[in-house]
Structure 1
Amino acid sequence: MTDGQSPRKRAQTSRAGSRRVNIQAVADGAGVSIATVSRVMSGKGGVSEPLAERVRRAAAELGYRPSFAAQSLATGATRMVGMVVPNLANPYFYDVIKDVNVAAVADGYQLAVADANEDPRAETELSESFLHKLDGLLLMSPRMDVPALRAIAQATDHLVLLNRVVPEVGIPTIAIDSMSGMLELCGHLHALGHRRAVYLGGPEHSWSNTERLRGIRQAGSFGLDVAEVSAGGTIAAGYDGAEKAWSTRPTAIICHNDLVAFGALTRLQELGVRVPEDVSLTGFDDIPFASYGSPALTTVAGQSGVGAAAWGLMKRLLAGHPQNEISLVPAHVVVRGSSAAPRAELVAAE
């Protein structure tokens, strides 16, 4: 069409006062059909590059923004993925969510996040809801049982697991090597001279807690005896469990994660117990606050790259490339001021 008007001018005429530029205005501006505009804007292909560039230029000049609902109906895709996490009160999950989101947005996707509040049944329900609405699903440290996880996996080809390994279900997975990280932490304490410790355990249904317990129990092979006290994954859990842990008079308290360690630290201070003079205290995850405590927290780091790697798996699934990958991200001990050699008299009393 060569009426002498620019695409912007033609759009102003076609809009007739409308505040939103529609697809017809772009088609008129580029001199093509609505179907051609739809194909170009949805990325379907089948349009020559010069013609596609003409459509994109007209859309840019007009300020056209495709209708999300219309695109979804046309392509069958929402360009959105869901992520279910067990507890948004844990800063560790925020770091992973942020990394997934940054990578997803860069690829033109949006991320919807839901909190299951440590409830396996709610987690399953949220996951099923996302399956019916979104293009893919990422499950972060899921607490649901294996049959529920298998049912989710059978309902979609676009499922990625983070921080839980379930080989028998066959879901592409990226996870931190919690067992090795915990074993290394126990080795650090043993090298300092500790022989009697207590583990403040994490949530009952947590795979990470199971893996960290594996590391704890293997530590007995080199002489670190670790008792176990149930706690949870929150600051309150650490606070509530600290007195029971201290009552056994360990020289070290090993916590499921950094939040538990901070709760335990507060309660120990109330009890007049000094860290690390009277007892060493360690966490896990190396959340941003870990280096700012008083004392700064000895912990285990390993989450770097987990979010981006998880999105990489999801991106390949969405592109129609099946994945069977199970990858473990190495974890390592970060030594700070909350761990030290036990006092000589404490060692002598063992």
Structure 2
Amino acid sequence: MRAGTGERAEDRDEPSSSAGSGGRRGPRPAGAATISRVAEAAGVSRATVSRVMNGSTTVKPELAARVRAAAQALDYEPSVAARSLALGRTGTISLVVPDLSNPLFQGVLRGLSQAAGKAGRQLLVAESDEDAEEETILALEARRNSDGLVLASPRAPDERLRELSDRLAPFVLVYREVPGLAAPSLSVDNDAGINELVAHLTGLGHRHLAYLSGPPASSSHASRLAALRAAAAGAPGFTLTELPCGSMFDDGHAAARPVLESGASAVVAFNDMVASGALTGLHELGVRVPGDVSVTGFDGIPFARYTTPPLTTVSIPKNELGRQAWERLWALMNGESGGYNVRFQPRLLIRDSTGPAPS
């Protein structure tokens, strides 16, 4: 977003004037703060106060700071109802996620909520429970009741999202790329993350990996699996075993015995929740990690550093994704371009859950 470079008439360092021949307004009686009192205290017009309170970026920073200081000193709070009527807006945005219990989405929620809150916007959150059809219904309903929408890791097929794009606009995608979609996307380079994990594990002598797969409708699962298959195809003597799993702790826990039966010396789990469950399940089966089997995750959730042993994983900048989603959505809501798509580079965090392949 860019602030305007020109100075509007109402942005000049001039006080608000009253109608009639009386000129400048005199002192107001004590009482509830009004937009006029804030304008007088800041020495600007009411229009400037309104634009600052509505989150506009076209007001000069020094004037905006003066308006906010005056509003704070007077304990002024703009009327949400009045603002909504004036702008034709609700003052809210929406976030739809597949699973709120997953810390990956909690990080995006935190970053988005904090950024939107600073601009005076409230956040509505809906959970689809990994159901693509339910997600579509929720997204359309959320968009009708808010000014803009963020879809985090949507499970709907690409074509369905393209069909709905006009009805969902303005909206931003997080953890997803859809070719030909007229909406900005913020995604993660899953190929790079998987390649780092594979290089780390093969460097430790591992040649047989088991992949604990994610939800079938997850684009992140699809791209991570594709990267693993490419690695297996390009390395002689490299074996990849694909095991059906899921995205939650219980899924990983249930996969511990299939991992043991596969004969793999290392596990690449779809995410950290699955990896954490696998660690517990393997421990219950008497399997030493990393002595017998190495285990890795993906996402870099805070809990991963406190597992036993601490989990090797690939970290994603979750809060930053949420913050940038707001910046792009705010631009779209104001008739500007949502900017270019961004693919974030993940970072390998090597901890104690990986070690040399057993001889």
| TM-score between the two structures when normalised by the length of structure 2 | 0.82
For structure 1, list consecutive stretches of 5 or more residues without a partner in the other structure.
13-20, 345-350
* Counterparts of residues 1-350 of structure 1 (less than 5 Å): 6-7=27-28, 10-12=29-31, 21=32, 27=36, 37=46, 40-41=49-50, 43=52, 63-220=75-232, 221-223=234-236, 224-304=238-318, 305-323=320-338, 325-344=340-359
1:264 is aligned with what amino acid?
A: A
What is the Cα deviation at residue 190 of structure 1?
0.8
Which shifted more, 240-249 or 151-160?
A: 151-160
Q: Which residue of 1 aligns with 2:5?
A: none
- 1:224-256 Cα offsets, whole Å, 9 max, x none, are 311101111000111112211221111011100
Q: Show CA shifts across 1:47-81 (max 9, x none).
A: 9xxx9999989866654422212210121122321
Paired residue total? 328
**Partners in 2 of 1:56 and 1:207 — Cα distance?**
43
Q: CA deviation at 1:152?
A: 3.1
**Partner Cα distance (1:188, 1:55) in 2:** 54
Equivalent position SS for 2:83: helix
Distance 2:119 2:328 in 1: 13
Query: Cα distance, 1:313 vs. partner?
Result: 1.6
- Counterpart amino acid of 2:214? G
Letter aligned with residue 98 of structure 2: P
C-alpha distance in 2 between matches for 1:126 and 1:266: 35
Q: Aligned equivalents of 1:289 and 1:55: distance in 2?
A: 42
Alpha-carbon separation, structure 2, partners of 1:199 and 1:213: 8
Code of the aligned partner of 1:231: C
Alpha-carbon distance in structure 2 between the residues aligned to 1:238 and 1:89: 15
Q: What amino acid is aligned across from residue 284 of structure 1 in structure 2?
A: F
What SS does structure 2 have at the residue aligned with 1:174?
strand
Unaligned runs of 5+ in 2: 1-21
Identity %: 38
Structure 1 SS opposite 2:255 = helix
Task: Tell me if the contact between 2:172 and 2:184 (Cα under 8 Å) persists in the aligned partners.
Answer: yes
Cα distance in 1 for partners of 2:283, 2:88 equals 57
Q: CA RMSD in A?
A: 3.2
Deviations 1:314-340 (A, max 9, x none): 222122112362211011221111111
**Stretch moving more, 86-95 or 300-309:** 300-309
Partner secondary structure for residue 148 of structure 1: helix
Instruction: Return closer, same or farther for 1:62/1:196 CA change in 2, 3 Å cut-off.
Output: closer
Residues 11, 62 of structure 1: 8 Å contact kept: no
User: Deviations along 1:107-148, whole A, 9 cap, x unmatched?
Assistant: 332222211111112211111112111111110000112233
For normalisation by structure 1, the TM-score amounts to 0.84
3-state DSSP of counterpart to 1:117: coil
Report which of the two has the higher share of helix: 1
The structure-2 alpha-carbon separation of the partners of 1:30 and 1:106, relative to structure 1 and needing over 3 Å to count, comes to closer
Shift of 1:29: 9.3
* Aligned-residue offset at 1:6: 4.2
The separation in 1 between residues aligned to 2:183 and 2:75, in whole angstroms, is 42
